[in-house]
Amino acid sequence: LKDVDPSIINVEDAMSPGVYTVSPDAPIDEVCNEMASKKYGSAVIVQNHKVVGIFTTVDVCSAFAALLHGRLTH
């Protein structure tokens, strides 16, 4: 790709066409299982047909670390 000018490539050309969406009240274990099994890097959080957030693999790691250290409870 050394002969390709990155300034002429759109994000649309590189994006994933399918989007994994969940509601804000989706159980975190189900979302994590789906992300892991399908190798998704993120889940788009949608409420009332509007994007309200994004849940990423970094968020998964942060939640897991907090859970291990007793900082995350429901």
Q: Which residue has the higher pLDDT, 15 or 57?
A: 57
How far, in Å, CA of 71 to CA of 25, rounded?
Answer: 20
Tell me the average pLDDT across 45-50: 98
Write down the mean pLDDT value for the chain: 90
Confidence of residue 62 (pLDDT cuts 50, 70, 90): very high
pLDDT digits (tens, 9 = 90+) for 9-27: 888 888 888 899 999 999 9
- Verdict on whether the full-model pTM lies above 0.85: no
- The domain covering 18-68 belongs, at the CATH homologous superfamily level, to CBS-domain (3.10.580.10)
How far, in Å, CA of 20 to CA of 32, rounded?
Answer: 12
Q: Which residue has the higher pLDDT, 64 or 71?
A: 64
- Domain locations along the chain: 18-68
